[in-house]
Structure formats: structure tokens, C-alpha cells
């Protein structure tokens, strides 16, 4: 064992260590199929040319399947994905389980302070960011300026529910196939319950009291559901009990709705002259509240890029995540497809950009709506949970869907709101007791 | 006089049959037509049947966005593979049960069918975890085996039923003529069984081609078949019907074409009565 | 007349399939049984503990359990009725001498090739939507109020959609069964003076007995686990009206990654499916001999 031999061994060892770094890494990215993500897939050349040693493998799935696959994979430490698209519903739950890598060492130009505070808060646990927001949305009112004028009503910038109901009734002309208001009715925790939770928040209700007992027997929820059922019966379209976001979008774009209250991302679609027949007639207003309640629904949804803790390519994954949610990426999208196409809702700098404001007339309202969200306390009442138009507990998907089924039966006219509320109360109490929240 | 009656009768039934066929086919026709519309036209009211701006943009988008041929290849491998493997195992079994029925053959058959009773949703996560441990996730072999096992009872059942049709007398006659077991299988049985085997094979290819639960859950990108391809077009927020129609048309076209060419086989083989 | 040699050979030939299916059944079944007695939620790892029959008790006491049972049976029975009766009628129709028989056949078989999700979406949005859909447009043209299919008749709508998908399967099998019917027998009966109906009931139907049995058995197996169509259209609602047993397992267990609960639900579904199969075999099993 002379020194030459030993140094040769050492050199071999070092070069063996160095080799994998120079080899190519392939990142498997799980994503959902919506416009902004599709756009990102088309623009990845910019990333791969700057990082020649990283290849990207895209897996596009439908939202429910994506959630199921990714959750199962992460929970069983499967390691199938290196970057996952997750919503702000999952992030806090997974972060607490240490299933996501903390993103506290992203490159400096990422500028985490530029993130819209409410969005950043929703994705952080104890101050550490666990997923990088790709786009964020709140909810708002979209209405037909021409129909409003014709009916002789007004919708102010910050309407109350009473004003909305009056306007909806005035605009309704069922024989002419114009319905005053279109709202979600399809059963599902992310479908009708997203809207109803936000509406309940704005009525001063909450899902659970501090003892984790469900609050469906309280006057606020009763008021929420009764008003919802009534306005849909008087001024809503038929078939509402199976209408989700896309169905209402189609109705509004075809000119059949007077008012539509849903995610802010819809604003881009309804004002697109290529798709919408009424693109130039749309007005916007804040999510309504009940008189005297200081809560405008508290709707916040963001699609984010997270890195599973089980990945073996953390470095490359972080590079990609930082790139895809950076200011540079927004500029890239703007240069290729105009400012309208920029992913909304995540960075304050975007909203301070005059060119963006010019191209997207609904921008300011979107920002105001997102800024008004308080994920820590979604309701005016004291709550043991965080959330927004959902409750951030793992059981919410099942409970939300079951309650959603009851409420969709209410607008299908098959049970009275009181009955639906009693069923909802019973089954939620049952689930929460089993899960151990209610002692 | 008789000729006229036959002709009129033929025309009446032709019109009736074509009418019913078109009604049944209409939703598919609608999907194909929608694939040539823009997203706005796809949801237009009143629904536009033929008079709209025909465009190929959906097909362009589908082609650009995802790897059709990769998915297509996977679909072919998975459906053909699982069917071939299944037939390999099932033919001897069905033969044995049809010609040498034991006391418990019926029970065995029923038990085989009962293995299909477990709803996939109940057993999804255990299988997923199992596959994960075995490293079979996102592999064609893995999905192939699952689909084969899922359809094996059906294959055995159908083959058993066909083989029961084959009259025993012919076999006994060949036996009395001194044919060995092997000869019996090769020269007497197989020609009569081919139609049955062919139609079972075709049916299973179709079932495997459309299987959407396991293929969606056990594959990611390498082994993803056309079902995944289609599923990726459902968007939570944003209209997608035209693109989905284009993707679906591209997905069912190969199997419709295959079905067209193998029609005679499919129909001729499914004889449940006397074999002449 | 089988010799000992032939009998053992026979057993050898059956062995691989029996063996594989045994494995396929025992491993997942075993795992599911095991999990059904555990309190195991994927989202809360490290808290797996034995919990006896708790999962079963919880699943069976679910407010939607009995309704889902009823819905499952109604749905399967409805689809079977439509496909068997409709399939027979269509098969007889195509069997007549007509022009372009090949084309007609492929048009009628086509629905079987479409992925369930896609056909459900097409039916939901293109046809059944009371505002946008074709059926609504047609009824408005006649001056009638359009029917809100998925709200007023949800289970029936699902039955309709799934029947449309499975009708080709039944038609195909019945068609070939018809085509192997002994024409001479039929002509002989006709010359003996038997009417159309008498010929139908006494010759055609018994001949198709085996075909009907196979169709019923295979369809029942697949129909018991109908899932995609419900997910896409009604998501189990309104209320519990389109929740079947499989769907209940999905919403109550899979959605919250409750492996224990899902497993218990799966076992319950297996038991019930076996009961259905048992009765089915008693009723029609004789035709298989």
C-alpha cells in the first residue's frame, strides 16, 4: 500500500462522488390540468436551457385523482413524485406530518416577502414556507352590467346579500332563459360546500365550535341555507344541483346568468371575447356579506408546488419550484402571452405593475379579496380550526362531501333546508366523534 | 308477388334498424363533432349540430400537449398482453372443466366469479402499498398482471361455455378412431374452439382497453395507457369539452377500427347454440 | 369415461388458474380483512391499532348504508332489465335481412368502446342539462318544461347512462345466439301453424337461455362496481339518491384515506355480492348445464 496507490484510490473515490452530480436528474412533476399549469408545461424550455442537467417529466391528472394519488404516495413514502401540485388545503396538514420539505433555503431572488401575505400565511407553519404558491384566487361577484341596468337595480362595490338577492330577482326572466343568479350546487367538499362555507362565513357562521361540535343547528347556518335555497328556487337555473364551476361558467358565458359568485379566476374566462358572448358586459364586486357581519367569505384557494420529503432530488426540485413561481416566470408568461395570462394572486409586485392592471381590469379587486382573507380565523366566531372555504382537517373531504350531498338535495327540492341541516348535524357529529375530535 | 313482399319487408326493417342504430350512436357522433368545435361552440345553446366553425385546434392541442403514441402503445401492450396471458392460463383450465367435469366444477366456477365481487375501491390502498413494496408501480407488467387477474374469471367462464357447446360425440368418435389426447386437442377441438376463443379474446381486449380504475391508480407516466390520456383532459376550472372530445375520439378510433374489421369474427364466434 | 390419467391431467390443467386466482383472491382479501380490523388512516401514520369490529359497526350504522344497498339493487336490476330486454329486441332487429348489416352492427356496438367517464360527461352536459342540453332543447321545442334529469330522477338517469353503455354487449351476445338458431326448426314450426309469438316463446327464448344467463352474470359483476359515472354526474347526491354501496365506501372511507373503514366496507360489499350471486345462480344456474 504505497502512497501512490492510496492517492489513486482517493482520486477514484472523489471522482466517483463527483460523477452523480454531473449526471442528469429527471424530476417527476405531478400537476393538475388547468390553464396556468398547461401554460407552464409549454414554457419549460426556458428552464431546461438554463439547467441542462435537469429533465422534466410531467404527470397531468384530474384533480380528484391527483389528490388521491399524491396523498397516497406521500403518506406511504412512495417517492414517485419529486414535485407535487397541492392546494392550500393539504399543505398545513402535510407540513405538520413533515411530509413536505420546508422551503426556507430558496435562492435570494425568489423574494418570499413579495408573496401576498394571506397566501404566504396559509402555506406556512410556524413561519416556515412549505409550498411555493403558483396561483391564488379568492371569490367575487361577477354580474352583467347590461342586465343590471335593464332591471333598474344597482350592485355596489361591496354589496350585502340583501342587495344581491334583490338584484337577482329583478333580473330573472325564466321564460327568456335568463336567470338572475347562478351558484354552485353540485355535491362535493370542493364544489357546493366551498361556496356554502364561504357564504356561511359571511353570515357569521362557523363549521365547528370550540368544542368541535358542528354548528349546523345554529341560527347563522339556518339563515345561510334557507336564503341559498330560496334565491336558487326563485332566480336560479334549473339543474342547479349538478352545476359546478364549469357548468356555471358555460351558463354565464352563454349569457344566461345575471350574477355569478365564484372563484376570481373565472373573471379571466368570462371577459375573454374568444369564449364568452358577454365579454364586454361584465362588472365585478366583492363577495357579499350579511349586514353587520365583518366577513366577506374568506375564500382562498391556491395551487402550490411542494416537494415531498421522500424525494431524492431535493436540490433539483427546489430549483424548479423556485423558477416556476418566481417573478421571472411571470415576466416570461407576459412576454409570450400578454399580462392577462400571468398567474394571478401570488405576488404583490404583479399587482403594482401598471401593465398588468391595464390588461386585467379585475386585478385590483382580486388582490383586495385575497388580502381580506384571514386563514387563521376564517369565521367571525372563535374556531378551533384554520381554513378558508374549507376546514383544514384531514376528515374534511369526507365530511364536506357528505354534507354537500344533503345540501344539494335541498336545492333539488327534495328536502327542506331544516331537514338537510339536521342530517348534516347528525352525520358530522358522528364522524367527528369517531375521529376523536369530540370527546 | 313473394319477391315484392320480401323487398318491402327488407326496406322496412332496414329503415327501422338504421334509425335505432343512429339513435344509439348519436352521443358518440356528438362527441366526434364536438372535437371539431371551439370550446365556446361546444357549450353553445342552442346546441350546434353541423353548422359551426370547423377547427382542428383541439387536435393540435392534444397532440402538442401529450404523448398520444406513447399512451397508445401502452394501451396496446397492456390489453393484448393481459388477454394473451389470460388465455394461456384459461384455455387449459376451461378445457379441463368442460370435458372432465368433476363434482365440484360448478363450485369452482362460482368461486372464481366471486373473486370479482370485491369492489376495487375497498382494496385499492392495500394493492397500492403492495405494488409499491414490490416496485411494480408505473410498470406495464404490474398493470398487465392486475388486469389479467381481474378478467381471468370472465375468460374462463366464456371459454367454458363455448367448450360445453362442442358436442361430446365428436370427441368420442375421434377417440374411438384411436386419436391420442394430443391429437384430439389439436385436430378436432381447436378448429371448433377457435371462434369461441377469438371472440373471448376480442371481448377481453375491449374490457382491458377501457379499464379506468386500476390503470389510473397504478400508473404514472411510463406505463400510462390511453385512459390516463383522456382523464388528464378533465379540468377543474376551465372549459374542456372540445379538447376532451378530441382526446376521446383519438382514443376510441383505433378500437372502433379494430372492431369493424373483426366484426365477423366477433359475431360468428359467439355461438351459444348448436355448432354445425 | 375419463381415465385416471386423463383426470389427473385435467386437474393439472386447471391448477395454474386456480392457483393464481387463489393468490389474487387471498392476498388482497387477506390484507383487506386484516386492515378492516385495524384503525388505520393513511394521514395519521404511526397510530395503527387493533380495533375489533369498530370499523364494521361504523360502516353499517352509516345513515346512508341501507339506502345505498337499496340503490345498488335497484340500479343493477334496472340496468339488467333494460339491457336484456333491449338487447333481445335489438338483436332480433339486426337479425332480419337488412341492407348494410355490418354498418348497423358497428354503430350499435360503438357505445361499449367509450370510456365510462367520457360517456357520463357527454350525457350529463350534452343531453341531460335542462338548460344547455339537447333533451331540454327538444322539449322546449315542443312547448314542454324540460326535465331536470339528474335532480328529479337521479338514479334513473344513472341507469339510463350505464344501460346505454352495456346495451351493445348484450345485443352482440344475443345476436350471435340468434344466428345459431336452427332455421329448419323454425320453418317447421311455422308450417305446423305456430304464430310469431308462439314461435318466439317456445323456440327462440329457450335457445337463448344460456346467452341470457351469461349476460346477466357478467353484467351483474361489472354493474355492482359502477363508479365513474356517479362520480362525474351527481357525486352520490342529491342526498343519498345515487349513492351505491361502492360509492359509499369511496366517500366515507377512501376520501379521507381511512384504510380501515374502506376495508370494512369492501368486506361488507363482498359478502353482499356473494349473496346476490347465490340467489342469481339458484334462479338461472340451471340453464348452464
Cα–Cα dist C2/B95, whole Å = 14
Set of chain C residues whose Cβ sits within 8 Å of the Cβ of B157: 214, 217-218
Strands A179-182 and A257-263: parallel
Number of B/C CB contacts below 8 angstroms equals: 288
Say if the Cβ atoms of C111 and B124 lie within 8 Å: no
* Unique residue bearing C-alpha cell 379538447: B243
Cell of C99: 341492407
Tens of pLDDT, residues B109-132: 777 777 677 777 777 878 888 888
Whether B120 contacts chain A with CB within 8 A: no
Whether C90 contacts chain B with CB within 8 A: yes
DSSP A237: P
Average pLDDT for A142-164: 93
- What is the full DSSP assignment across A390-411? SB-STTHHHHHHHHHHHHHHHH
Average pLDDT for B11-36: 87
Cα-Cα-Cα-Cα dihedral sign, residues A420, A421, A427, A432: positive
| pLDDT score for A167 | 94
Cα–Cα dist B226/B72, whole Å = 6
User: In angstroms, how far is CA B157 from the centroid of its own chain?
Assistant: 16
The shortest C-alpha distance from B7 to chain A (Å) reads: 48
| pLDDT score for B27 | 87
CA-CA distances (angstroms) from residue B113 to C24, C145, C222? 12, 46, 11
Set of chain C residues whose Cβ sits within 8 Å of the Cβ of A434: 58
| pLDDT score for A86 | 92
Say if the Cβ atoms of C257 and A405 lie within 8 Å: no
**Mean pLDDT of all residues belonging to chain B:** 78
Q: Greater confidence, B170 or A130? A: A130
Question: Is residue B276's pLDDT more than 60?
Answer: no
Q: Greater confidence, A14 or A380? A: A380
| pLDDT score for B2 | 46
Is residue B123 within 8 Å of residue B86, measured between CB atoms? no
Residue C207 parent element (H or E): helix C205-207
CA atoms within 13 A on the CB side of C156: 7
| pLDDT score for B275 | 36
Cα–Cα dist B26/B17, whole Å = 14
Strand partners, A282: A144
Question: Is residue A152's pLDDT more than 80?
Answer: yes
| pLDDT score for C261 | 85
Set of chain A residues whose Cβ sits within 8 Å of the Cβ of B38: 274-275
Tens of pLDDT, residues A178-203: 999 999 998 889 889 999 999 999 99
Question: What is the widest separation between alpha-carbon atoms in chain B?
Answer: 76
Does a cis peptide bond (omega within 30 degrees of 0) precede residue B34?
A: no
The shortest C-alpha distance from C153 to chain B (Å) reads: 20
- ipTM more than 0.85? no
* Unique residue bearing C-alpha cell 408505473: B138
Cα–Cα nearest to C174, from C202, C216, C217, C212? C212
CA-CA distances (angstroms) from residue B53 to A288, B40, B48, B111, C267? 40, 11, 10, 55, 53
Q: Which residues contact A32 (CB under 8 A, 6 or more apart)?
A: A60, A61, A62, A63, A66, A85, A303, B235, B236
Question: Is residue B274's pLDDT more than 60?
Answer: no
Q: Where are the beta strands (DSSP E) in chain B?
A: none
Q: Greater confidence, A114 or C182? A: A114
Question: Is residue B216's pLDDT more than 60?
Answer: yes
Question: Is residue A18's pLDDT more than 50?
Answer: no
- What is the full DSSP assignment across B207-256? HHHH--HHHHHH-SSSS--HHHHHHTT--SSS--HHHHHHHHHHHHHHHH
Q: What band does A147 get if pLDDT is binned at 50, 70 and 90?
A: very high
Cα–Cα dist C159/C136, whole Å = 19
Question: Is residue C6's pLDDT more than 80?
Answer: no
Does a cis peptide bond (omega within 30 degrees of 0) precede residue B46?
A: yes
| pLDDT score for A73 | 85
| pLDDT score for C71 | 93
| pLDDT score for B266 | 59
Phi, psi of B109, deg, nearest 5 = -60, -45
Cα–Cα nearest to B24, from C192, C106, A391? C106
Pick from A129-133, A420-424, B137-141: least confident: B137-141
Cell of C94: 339486426
Average pLDDT for B166-176: 69
Set of chain A residues whose Cβ sits within 8 Å of the Cβ of B238: 34-35, 246, 249, 269
Average pLDDT for A285-307: 92
Cα-Cα-Cα-Cα dihedral sign, residues C36, C39, C41, C46: negative
Strands A54-61 and A25-32: parallel
- What is the full DSSP assignment across C6-25? HHHHHHHHHHHHHHHHHHHH
**Mean pLDDT of all residues belonging to chain A:** 88
- Give the best residue of C107, C130, C253 to mutate against chain B (max B CB count within 10 A): C107
Q: Greater confidence, B256 or A47? A: A47
Tens of pLDDT, residues A203-214: 999 999 999 999
Tens of pLDDT, residues A72-117: 888 888 788 999 999 999 999 999 888 999 998 888 778 888 899 9
| pLDDT score for B181 | 64
Tens of pLDDT, residues B41-74: 777 766 677 777 788 888 888 887 777 888 889 9
Q: Under DSSP, is residue C124 helix (H, G, I), strand (E, B) or coil?
A: helix
* Unique residue bearing C-alpha cell 397516497: A72
Cα–Cα dist A266/A12, whole Å = 58
CA atoms within 13 A on the CB side of B182: 0
Cα–Cα dist B91/B86, whole Å = 8
| pLDDT score for C203 | 76
Q: Which chains touch A (3 or more CB pairs under 8 A)?
A: B, C
Say if the Cβ atoms of A398 and C146 lie within 8 Å: no
Cα–Cα dist C88/C171, whole Å = 6
Cα–Cα nearest to B269, from B152, B157, B163, B148? B163
DSSP A98: T
Q: What band does A1 get if pLDDT is binned at 50, 70 and 90?
A: very low
| pLDDT score for A286 | 93
| pLDDT score for C1 | 45
Q: Which residues contact C6 (CB under 8 A, 6 or more apart)?
A: B100, B181
- Cβ neighbours of C225 (radius 10 Å): 22
Pick from A11-20, A33-42, A359-368, B172-181: least confident: A11-20
What share of chain A has pLDDT > 70, as a percent?
95
What share of chain C has pLDDT > 90, as a percent?
12
Question: Is residue C74's pLDDT more than 50?
Answer: yes
Strand partners, A87: A303
Cα–Cα–Cα angle for A51, A52, A57, rounded to 5 degrees: 85
Say if the Cβ atoms of A246 and B235 lie within 8 Å: yes
Average pLDDT for C37-58: 82
Set of chain C residues whose Cβ sits within 8 Å of the Cβ of A191: 235
Cα–Cα nearest to C204, from C228, C230, C185, C231? C185
Average pLDDT for A285-304: 92
Cα–Cα dist A407/A59, whole Å = 34
CA atoms within 13 A on the CB side of C29: 15
Strands A301-306 and A83-87: antiparallel
Average pLDDT for A398-417: 91
| pLDDT score for C270 | 83
Q: Under DSSP, is residue A31 helix (H, G, I), strand (E, B) or coil?
A: strand
DSSP B187: I
Average pLDDT for A351-363: 86
- What is the full DSSP assignment across A107-170? -GGG-GGGB-HHHHHHTEETTEE-SEEEEEE-EEEEEEHHHHHHHT----SS-BHHHHHHHHHH
Is residue C40 within 8 Å of residue C192, measured between CB atoms? no
Say if the Cβ atoms of B14 and C98 lie within 8 Å: yes
* Unique residue bearing C-alpha cell 321545442: C141
Pick from A23-27, B2-6, C69-73: least confident: B2-6
Average pLDDT for A269-289: 90
Burial class (CB within 10 angstroms; exposed 0-12, middle 13-18, buried 19+) of A389: buried
Cα–Cα dist A334/A322, whole Å = 18
Tell me which residues of chain B, numbers 75 to 104, contact chain C at a CB-CB cutoff of 8 Å. 89-90, 92-93, 95-97, 99-100, 102
Q: Greater confidence, C113 or C77? A: C77
Q: What band does A16 get if pLDDT is binned at 50, 70 and 90?
A: very low
Amino acid at each position: 500500500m504505497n502512497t501512490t496507490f492510496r492517492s489513486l484510490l482517493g482520486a477514484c473515490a472523489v471522482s466517483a462522488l463527483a460523477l452523480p452530480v454531473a449526471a442528469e436528474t429527471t424530476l417527476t412533476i405531478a400537476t393538475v390540468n388547468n390553464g396556468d399549469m398547461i401554460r407552464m408545461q409549454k414554457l419549460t424550455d426556458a428552464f431546461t436551457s438554463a439547467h441542462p442537467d435537469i429533465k422534466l417529466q410531467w404527470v397531468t391528472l384530474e384533480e380528484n385523482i391527483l389528490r388521491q394519488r399524491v396523498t397516497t404516495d406521500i403518506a406511504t413514502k412512495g417517492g414517485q413524485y419529486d414535485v407535487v401540485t397541492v392546494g392550500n388545503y393539504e399543505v398545513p396538514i402535510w407540513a405538520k406530518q413533515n411530509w413536505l420539505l420546508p422551503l426556507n433555503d430558496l435562492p435570494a431572488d425568489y423574494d418570499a416577502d413579495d408573496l401576498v401575505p394571506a397566501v404566504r400565511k396559509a402555506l406556512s407553519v410556524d413561519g416556515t414556507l412549505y409550498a411555493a404558491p403558483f396561483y391564488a384566487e379568492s371569490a367575487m361577484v361577477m354580474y352583467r352590467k347590461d342586465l343590471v341596468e335593464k332591471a333598474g337595480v344597482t350592485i355596489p362595490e361591496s354589496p350585502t346579500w340583501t342587495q344581491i338577492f334583490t338584484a337577482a330577482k329583478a333580473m330573472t326572466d325564466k321564460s327568456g332563459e335568463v336567470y338572475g343568479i347562478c351558484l354552485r350546487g353540485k355535491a362535493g367538499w370542493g364544489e357546493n360546500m366551498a361556496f356554502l362555507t364561504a357564504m356561511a362565513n359571511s353570515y357569521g357562521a362557523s363549521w365547528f365550535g370550540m368544542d368541535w361540535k358542528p354548528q349546523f343547528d345554529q341560527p347563522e347556518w339556518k339563515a345561510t341555507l334557507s336564503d341559498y335555497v330560496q334565491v336558487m328556487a326563485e332566480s336560479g337555473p334549473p339543474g342547479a344541483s349538478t352545476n359546478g364551476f364549469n357548468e356555471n361558467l358555460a351558463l354565464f358565458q352563454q349569457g344566461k346568468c345575471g350574477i355569478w359568485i365564484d372563484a376570481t379566476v373565472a373573471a379571466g374566462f368570462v371577459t375573454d371575447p374568444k369564449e364568452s358572448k358577454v365579454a364586454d358586459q361584465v362588472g365585478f364586486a366583492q363577495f357579499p356579506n350579511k349586514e353587520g357581519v365583518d366577513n366577506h367569505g374568506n375564500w382562498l384557494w391556491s395551487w402550490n408546488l411542494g416537494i415531498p420529503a421522500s424525494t431524492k432530488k431535493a436540490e433539483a426540485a427546489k430549483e424548479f419550484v423556485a423558477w416556476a413561481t418566481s417573478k421571472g416566470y411571470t415576466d416570461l408568461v407576459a412576454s409570450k402571452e400578454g399580462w392577462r395570462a400571468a398567474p394571478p394572486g401570488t405576488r404583490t409586485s404583479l399587482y403594482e405593475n401598471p401593465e398588468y392592471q391595464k390588461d386585467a381590469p379585475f386585478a385590483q379587486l382580486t388582490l383586495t379579496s385575497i388580502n381580506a382573507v384571514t386563514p387563521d380565523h376564517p369565521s367571525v366566531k372563535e374556531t378551533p380550526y384554520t381554513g378558508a372555504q374549507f376546514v383544514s382537517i384531514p376528515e374534511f373531504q369526507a365530511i364536506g362531501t357528505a354534507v354537500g350531498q344533503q345540501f344539494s338535495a335541498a336545492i333539488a327540492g327534495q328536502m327542506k333546508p331544516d331537514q338537510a341541516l339536521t342530517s348534516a348535524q347528525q352525520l358530522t357529529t358522528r364522524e367527528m366523534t369517531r375521529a376523536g375530535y369530540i370527546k | 308477388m313473394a319477391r315484392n313482399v320480401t323487398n318491402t319487408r327488407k326496406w322496412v326493417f332496414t329503415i327501422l334498424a338504421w334509425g335505432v342504430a343512429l339513435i344509439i350512436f348519436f352521443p358518440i357522433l356528438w362527441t366526434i363533432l364536438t372535437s371539431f368545435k371551439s370550446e365556446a361552440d361546444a357549450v353553445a345553446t342552442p346546441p350546434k349540430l353541423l353548422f359551426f366553425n370547423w377547427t382542428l385546434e383541439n387536435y393540435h392541442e392534444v397532440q402538442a400537449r401529450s404523448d398520444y403514441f406513447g399512451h397508445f402503445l401502452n394501451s396496446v401492450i397492456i390489453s393484448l398482453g393481459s388477454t394473451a396471458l389470460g388465455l394461456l392460463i384459461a384455455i387449459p383450465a376451461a378445457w379441463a372443466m368442460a370435458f372432465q367435469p368433476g363434482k365440484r366444477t360448478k363450485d369452482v366456477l362460482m368461486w372464481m366469479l366471486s373473486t370479482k365481487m370485491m369492489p376495487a375501491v375497498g382494496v385499492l390502498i392495500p394493492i397500492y402499498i403492495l405494488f409499491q413494496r414490490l416496485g411494480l408501480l408505473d410498470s406495464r407488467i404490474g398493470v398487465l398482471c392486475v388486469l389479467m387477474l381481474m378478467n381471468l374469471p370472465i375468460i374462463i367462464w366464456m371459454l367454458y361455455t363455448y367448450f360445453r357447446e362442442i358436442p361430446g360425440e365428436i370427441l368420442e368418435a375421434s377417440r374411438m378412431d384411436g386419436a391420442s389426447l394430443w391429437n384430439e386437442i389439436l385436430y378436432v377441438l381447436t378448429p371448433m374452439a377457435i371462434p369461441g376463443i377469438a371472440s373471448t379474446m376480442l371481448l377481453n381486449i375491449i374490457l382491458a382497453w377501457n379499464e379506468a380504475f386500476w390503470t389510473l391508480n397504478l400508473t404514472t407516466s411510463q406505463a400510462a395507457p390511453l385512459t390516463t390520456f383522456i382523464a388528464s383532459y378533465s379540468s377543474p376550472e376551465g372549459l374542456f369539452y372540445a379538447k376532451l372530445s378530441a382526446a376521446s375520439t383519438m382514443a376510441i378510433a383505433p378500437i372502433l377500427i379494430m372492431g369493424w374489421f373483426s366484426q365477423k369474427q366477433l359475431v360468428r364466434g359467439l355461438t351459444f347454440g348448436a355448432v354445425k | 369415461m375419463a381415465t385416471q390419467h386423463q383426470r389427473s391431467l385435467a386437474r393439472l390443467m386447471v391448477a395454474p388458474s386456480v392457483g393464481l386466482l387463489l393468490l389474487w383472491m387471498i392476498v388482497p382479501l387477506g390484507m383487506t380483512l386484516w386492515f378492516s380490523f385495524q384503525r388505520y388512516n393513511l394521514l395519521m401514520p404511526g397510530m395503527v391499532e387493533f380495533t375489533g369490529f369498530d370499523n364494521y359497526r361504523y360502516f353499517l350504522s352509516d345513515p346512508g348504508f341501507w339506502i345505498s344497498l337499496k340503490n345498488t339493487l335497484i340500479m343493477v336490476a334496472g340496468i339488467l332489465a333494460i339491457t336484456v330486454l333491449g338487447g333481445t329486441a335489438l338483436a332480433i332487429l339486426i337479425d332480419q335481412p337488412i341492407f348494410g348489416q355490418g354498418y348497423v352492427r358497428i354503430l350499435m356496438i360503438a357505445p361499449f368502446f367509450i370510456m365510462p367517464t367520457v360517456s357520463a360527461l357527454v350525457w350529463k352536459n350534452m343531453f341531460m342539462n335542462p338548460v344547455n342540453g339537447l333533451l331540454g332543447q327538444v322539449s322546449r321545442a315542443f312547448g314542454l318544461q324540460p326535465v331536470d334529469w339528474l335532480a328529479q330522477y337521479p338514479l334513473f338517469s344513472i341507469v339510463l347512462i350505464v344501460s346505454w353503455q352495456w346495451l351493445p354487449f348484450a345485443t352482440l351476445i344475443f345476436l350471435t345466439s340468434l344466428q345459431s338458431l336452427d332455421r329448419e326448426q323454425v320453418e317447421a314450426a311455422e308450417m305446423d301453424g305456430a304464430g310469431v309469438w308462439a314461435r318466439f316463446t317456445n323456440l327462440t327464448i329457450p335457445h337463448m337461455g344460456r346467452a341470457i344467463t351469461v349476460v346477466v352474470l357478467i353484467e351483474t359483476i361489472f354493474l355492482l362496481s359502477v363508479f365513474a359515472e356517479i362520480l362525474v354526474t351527481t357525486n352520490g347526491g342529491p342526498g343519498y339518491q345515487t349513492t351505491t354501496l361502492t360509492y359509499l365506501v369511496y366517500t366515507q372511507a377512501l376520501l379521507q384515506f381511512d384504510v380501515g373503514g374502506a376495508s370494512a366496507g369492501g368486506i361488507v360489499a363482498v359478502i353482499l355480492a356473494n349473496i346476490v350471486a347465490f340467489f342469481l345462480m339458484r334462479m338461472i344456474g340451471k340453464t348452464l348445464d
